[in-house]
A and B are shown apart, each in its own frame.
Chain A
Amino acid sequence: MSDKIGIYVCECGPNIASKVDIDKILEEVSNLEDFKDVELVVKNHKLLCSVDGKKFLENEINENNLTHLVCAACSPRDHDTTFINVCKKTELNPYMYQMVNIREQCAWIIPDKEEATEKAIRIIHAGMDRVLYQQPLEEKQLDSNPDVLIIGGGIAGMEAALKLASKDRMVFLIEKTDELGGKSAKLNQLLPRQGVNLNILHQKLSNIKSNKYIKVFINTELASIIGFLGNFEIVIKDVNDSENTTELLAGAVVVATGFELLDATTLNKYKISKDDEVYNALEIEEMISKNGKEPQKVAVIHCVGRSEVGYCSKTCCNYLLKISKMLKEQSSKIEVVELFKHLCLPNKQDEAFFKQVKDKDVKFIRIKDVNVSGTSIELTDISDAKQKLDVDMIILGTAMIPTKETKYLAEELKVELDEMGFYQEAHLKINPISTNTDGVFVVGGAHGPTGISESMLQAQAAAGKILTQLIPGQKIIPEVKVSEILEAYCTGCKTCLDVCGFGAIYFDEDKGISVVNEAICRGCGNCVGSCPSGSIRTRHFTNPQLYQEVKEALR
């Protein structure tokens, strides 16, 4: 079948029609020297995006048996999808269509009508050049596996498991220690909000045990994972016996590996040893619950290691207030002093809780600086006055930091880390639970400092993402505008493997060439630019296509 290009110029009411010479555009485009051997249909319409306009376009494509389509109208941001949807109603492959913006790029910005008309003709010409080089592309449909792997059996991992498991969806929950519960299991009581107590943890544990759609693997960690949303191939291994592995298939992964507390003995201003009566917040929880010996004078220090790690751990203020309250409730004779720089109380209930603790006769000193040696404290307060405090016990609100295995897991999962060493979100503001690997979600302390309720909320959010993205029985339609590597030209230099941010390229050792996994590739084009032999191209954005468009536009 010979080429037949349809070119439709939208007047956009007066928006385009009053600013460019529509007749001249039609006349010149119909008689372009470059296209004298190509059959053209060139027409205008009052408003292509209207119901009438879309019907008109559909009829034109069908009646003229168009092989290519150019719509000269507004910004693709407004109506690219509109015209793609028109193509989908016809035999014309939507990738054989090109949109040219003669409104924002001509009519609205060039005051001189003649000049605006000239430019409109030129960019329509460029669009025609490009469209002739376009190739039809077909969407593929892949089967997907709805099951989910959850890494980490703390409160976030357990919550995600309970929200996701159903008769259509198995959940595999792996935990590296020998029991579920994570850090929350160490707590004596939860922050006393709305009367919630530790029973919630026991409730969740028993719900998980009784749920036949959740398979728990304790003493287990991830060995390897490859794949993409809907199809991950996973190997897990026994922590104590790395030969003992199990293979799993799943469609999504929730990373809920939690946090660690910074070791305060590494800080210059804290000259403390393991024997001193100095505890971090988790240690004191265990101690109180064991009914340990009773100190007379306790100092609680906030923000320990904050300037070193470079962020606020945001849960510690509330948490340390809770510890002071517990100490005071154990014995009102204990003198408790809190040394802090700023109080961070970002939840609506927090201020009332702070008042409650203050009313228990806890002393608060706002400090600028503090040095600790054993259980002796030297501090400078906010008014620059210096003070010495000798206490029986110090409780440190140490910073929450990423766990040791984060780096290894991030590499396996092909998820980036942020500068603090936590997993990086796909977008901090508008896509905070997802990662740059589709189908991998990060929740709880692994994501950054979070309290229990926030960890649970993030776990529910990951469940929301998975429940809407990975529907049992539904096919996955991967992006079609992806990169492909031309086998004959690839020299096997592996440069592209390094620049791919999605882990979409792997190396075929047998053939000695790089290969794109089309289900993972997003078509960003990084590899195209990096390839020294020019063997990679991104479909629908190939060099010849772009060259044709640019050459005419810049003429």
Chain B
Amino acid sequence: MEHSENVLIIGSGVAGMEASLMLSKAGKKVTLVEKLSLIGGKTIKNEETYPNMDCSTCLVAPIQQEILQDGNITVLTSSQVTAVSGDAGDFTVKINKKAGYVDLVACLGCGMCYPVCPVELINEWEENLTNKKAIYVPCAGALPNVPVIDAEKCLHLNGTDKECNKCVEACMFGAINLDGSDESLEINAGAILVATGYDMMDISTITDLGYGKYPGVYTAMEFERLFAANGPTEGALVMRDGEKIPSSVAIIHCVGRSQSHYCSSVCCMASAKHAHFLHHKLKDAKIYNIYSDICLPDKTYQKFYEDVKAHSSQFIYQSDRDRMKITEKNGKLKIEYLDAKEKTASLDVDMVILANALRPAIGSDELGKILGINHDKFGFVEAQPFNIGTVVTSKSGVFVAGCAEGPKDIQSSVIQSEAAVAEIMSLLNS
């Protein structure tokens, strides 16, 4: 049978990028579809990765660059798969590419267009910790370094002020065209890889922990951006009021685990890393990790954890993770929990970081229906039993890798992606 030599990869995190480059090197054509305007996935939200504290940008930027310059890989940002028909070896895929209004080739990313835009919006990519304009890149160093326009908020495009052409006038390359419109593309693909990753569980519903109520309570991802040099505070660990520097911080493990019914497997190390960050930026701050089980599933992890425990943070055991309560009094957060003897104990801190559970990426249900693949009871893509392959989905020709299949760390995502490539190569060569 003649197979299409093109592979559709959905999601441009570490898993999607690894598979794209491997397939390209083998001479296959790849269409890499990413719903955001930048590639790189969640990894680039981290300043450094555990356990070796490798700078994330240094790890990922060369890979992103290689992808963008690779002649075999077509990168479609701000794009989503809308329909799939056909079978393994010969899928027809419809993709909607949202109008970005900025020409990817003509734009150099000089940044002259944002300051002139009169619209201020919340920057969701920065975990709502800062603002952006209606024409924006989500963060400094975004790749491709080309802004997009939020059509609903742009005064010209939403009809509020048809005369507003400020960004167009500011662009010296004529790269901005406000007449753009969404594009419908149709491609042929021999195989499909789902690498749509994860999102963080919304924990504002766990009211006892006070997230959304007390400004001193942060999620792990908010803290990650707060620490990042290209983040909203350029890495300064100041709290939401823009002034206060915390002198005591508690990191709470396993937040939302009882609701998700699985261990997210990355949070213990991420929390240890956060303690390490805090200790190195705020030498005198008191740092606590409150845990119920420590999960360190890689040969390299325990050493890092022991090091953090020895130098950066006190680790406190709580015997029931569902009995914690956080309240605020006079600007201090009070954490009440059950200790090892199952007695109530408490701790007063300035800042709380909630290490919340990973969940399937928002929109993965819908995508699953379009692709015709099954999800498990948690909402992750259901892979076949491991004797058949944990990258094989319920639909022939559609494969899965990375956190789309379940929570996992970077290297496990990369390994799963490489395994998916083996299946894809076998299918295309058969």
Contact = CB atoms under 8 A, between A and B. Distances in A.
Contacts of A448: 298-299
Contact of B262 (A196, A344, A348, A432): A348
Given A193-B385, A430-B59, A352 B261 contact: yes
Interface string A264-285: 0000000000000000000000
Given A347-B406, A428-B52, A467-B425, A311 B419 contact: no
B293 A344 contact: yes
Interface in A2-29: 12-15
A458 B422 CA distance: 11
Interface in A38-82: 47, 50-51, 77-78, 81-82
B317 interface: yes
B182 to A, nearest CB: 25
A13 B302 contact: no
B263 interface: yes
Nearest to A462: B418
Given A13-B172, A429-B54, A430-B14, A351 B418 contact: no
A358 to B, nearest CB: 14
B425 A312 contact: no
A463 interface: yes
A460 B423 contact: yes
Interface residues of B, number: 72
Contacts of A196: 385-387
A346 B49 contact: no
A468 B69 contact: no
B110 A15 contact: yes
B25 A432 contact: no
A210 interface: no
A452 interface: yes
Given A77-B65, A460-B391, A346 B297 contact: yes
Interface string A456-467: 111011111101
A195 B297 contact: no
B206 interface: no
A414 interface: no
A1 B380 CA distance: 65
Given A384-B340, A464-B418, A13 B110 contact: yes
A382 to B, nearest CB: 5
A363 interface: no
A404 interface: no
Contact of A314 (B26, B297, B407, B415): B297
Contacts of A384: 340
B386 A193 contact: yes
B426 interface: yes
A461 B419 contact: yes
Given A194-B385, A468-B26, A350 B263 contact: yes
B415 A432 contact: yes
Contact of B173 (A13, A347, A420, A464): A13
A312 B421 CA distance: 29
Given A344-B293, A469-B25, A452 B425 contact: no
Interface in B296-354: 296-303, 306, 317, 319, 340-342
B1 interface: no
Contact of B415 (A50, A78, A452, A461): A461
B246 to A, nearest CB: 28
A471 interface: yes
Interface string A220-254: 00000000000000000000000000000000000
A297 interface: no
Interface centre among A13, A311, A420, A468 (most CB of B within 10 A): A468
Contacts of A431: 414
B295 A345 contact: yes
A453 interface: yes
A296 B429 CA distance: 57
A432 B299 contact: no
Most A CB contacts (10 A, CB to CB) among B23, B51, B262 go to B262
A418 interface: yes
A422 interface: yes
A431 B21 CA distance: 12
Given A433-B418, A469-B25, A453 B108 contact: no
Nearest to B175: A13
Interface in A410-428: 418, 420, 422, 425, 428
A351 B260 CA distance: 10
Given A193-B385, A342-B294, A429-B410, A460 B69 contact: no
Given A351-B263, A384-B340, A467-B425, A428 B386 contact: no
A430 B415 contact: no
Nearest to B295: A344
A429 B23 CA distance: 20
B52 A311 contact: no
B82 to A, nearest CB: 28
Contacts of A348: 262, 376, 378, 380, 406-407
Contacts of B27: 471
Nearest to A354: B263
A346 B415 contact: no
Kindly name the residue among B25, B301, B380, B425 whose own CB sees the greatest number of chain A CB atoms within 10 A. Answer: B425
Given A14-B172, A312-B302, A464 B422 contact: yes
A382 B297 contact: no
Given A342-B293, A418-B299, A457-B419, A430 B425 contact: no
A463 B386 contact: no
A464 B22 contact: yes
A200 interface: yes
A467 B378 contact: no
Nearest to A384: B340
Contact of A457 (B23, B26, B415): B415
Nearest to A453: B386
Contacts of A433: 415, 418
24 contacts: A47-B173, A77-B62, A163-B422, A194-B385, A310-B306, A311-B302, A342-B294, A344-B295, A348-B380, A348-B406, A382-B340, A428-B51, A428-B52, A429-B59, A429-B410, A430-B60, A460-B391, A460-B419, A461-B419, A463-B422, A464-B423, A468-B23, A468-B425, A469-B25
Given A343-B293, A344-B296, A456-B386, 13 more contacts: A13-B110, A14-B112, A77-B61, A196-B385, A196-B387, A342-B295, A347-B265, A349-B262, A429-B59, A430-B63, A448-B299, A465-B418, A471-B26
Sorted from nearest, which 6 A-B pairs have the closest CB atoms? A460-B419, A461-B418, A453-B386, A464-B422, A464-B421, A346-B265
